[in-house]
Structure 1
Amino acid sequence: MSVSRMMKRTSLIAMALLSAGCSAIPSAPPAIESRVLLKSTTSWEGSAYQAYPAGQPELTVMRINIPANTSLKWHQHPMPNAAYVVSGQLRVETRDGGKSIMLKPGDVLPEIVDRQHRGVTGDSAVELVVFYAGTPGLPLSQ
């Protein structure tokens, strides 16, 4: 094989290796993104949060699945909490009938404290992630 042919062949192999190496160089990792989903000093119906329960803080995070066409029992929470709607639609209403709100996936609800309310699903099930800020032994709802 001639020297010039050998050089051309070596050049082609080097170019192939370089181009293969270029595609193997890792790209920069995606940027970390964060956004506030909820920041509130009041519940969804406008009541101002007064204070957290006294004592050692205890956080509870629950995943709650509610079947389609279900009305939850009337209940109230003794501490601030917030619900994130993962899927489905949920209507939340106060027992006195004064207020209601319709939630969809991606919505965050700052819950009412010490006031009776309930959730009602429609034709599809609802999945929630709920964050409670209470104290040990304090029930999440009553």
Structure 2
Amino acid sequence: MADEGGGSRTTVLLKATSSWNDLKYVAYPAGQPELTTVRMTIPANSKLNWHKHLMPNTAYIVSGELTIEERDTGRKATYHAGQSLAESVDNVHRGSTGKEPVVVIVTYAGVQGQPLSVPVQD
């Protein structure tokens, strides 16, 4: 934690050069940078559709428990309220919830006009 003066404190929640499943970040997309932050509420006992991201992004779990699953390997990791994760780029995955809804804040580092995620068929 860093003291920012005036009583403010800063805590780094995540600093990463690779995603949760150890895929190294290579580069940011070319073009006019655009940052997007979204707050998602995912219902209890649900699975998101398979998808991938074309840009680096991070997620912060506000409440609940979110399990991320990689389609090709079946590798999984579970994150709880108060934890952050670095999402993978160009890697098919999905999230699933448990007995409670999940609230997650995701920040994407893309370019103007780029979709935040791309659906992938099963």
TM-score by length of 2: 0.90
Question: Given the alignment of the two structures, is residue 33 of structure 1 paired with residue 1 of structure 2, yes or no?
Answer: no
CA distance in 1, matches of 2:96, 2:31: 33
- The runs of 5 or more residues in structure 2 that have no matched partner are 1-5
In 2, the alpha carbon distance for the partners of 1:98 and 1:123 equals 21
**Residue 68 of structure 1 aligns with which residue?**
44
Structure 1: state its 5+ residue gaps: 1-29
Q: Aligned partners of 1:32 and 1:139: how far apart in 2?
A: 35
More strand by share: 2
1:128 maps to 2:101:
no
Structure that is richer in helix per residue? 1
1:58 to 12, 22, 34: 34
Once the two structures are superposed, residues 63-111 of structure 1 have per-residue CA deviations (whole angstroms, 9 ceiling, x without a partner) of: 0000000000000000000000000001100011341100100110100
Choose 1 or 2 for highest CA Rg.
1
| Offset, 1:31 | 1.6
RMSD, aligned α-carbons: 1.3
Moved over 3 A (4+): none
Give percent identity, aligned residues only: 52
Aligned residues: 114
Question: RCO higher in 1 or 2 (8 Å CA, sep ≥ 6)?
Answer: 2
Q: TM-score, normalised by structure 1?
A: 0.78
